[in-house]
Structure 1
Amino acid sequence: MRDPRFEQLAGLMLDHSLKIRRGEAFHISADLCALPLVKSLLRAAAQRGVFALVDFSCQEASRLLYETYQAGDSDKTEAFL
């Protein structure tokens, strides 16, 4: 289900904040919890003829990985970070 608030926000982000034009490209880096907004941005981008590259992350998984290395050997933690 589309949320009209996200659709409106996506339009504002592209037109006002980015001032993006047809044929241009932009990058979205977002957590998975932002999926509804990202989908609205992709729809708005397609309507405007612009290209979007999307990278998703999962904050919870990143936190678990970080905590795993924090709990272990300090040499491994430094190598990881």
Structure 2
Amino acid sequence: MKVLRRITGKTLLNGERSENVRNMCKVDSINDWVLNRKQEWKDHINRMDDTRIVRIARDRSPLGRRSVGRPRKRCSDNKKVP
């Protein structure tokens, strides 16, 4: 949003709404874009064959039980947050 305000020459002190600034630059809202991409991905998976791994993983739940105790670490857990 900061870049769009700079392009249009509007600051927060001007009292211009973010929606108006986006409309001036002809840029969609990020929330609308994310919802649209999610829907496109969902439609893409629906067009896939029923034997594809992605479709199976989305439509079915895993069998069996998880082991008792602390869950294993993921790669993303090893990253340190400053």
TM-score normalised by the chain length of structure 1:
0.27
Choose between structure 1 and 2 for higher RCO, CA contacts under 8 A separated by at least 6 residues.
1
Q: Which protein has the bigger helix share?
A: 1
Q: Which protein has the bigger strand share?
A: 1
TM-score normalised by the chain length of structure 2:
0.26
Larger radius of gyration: 2
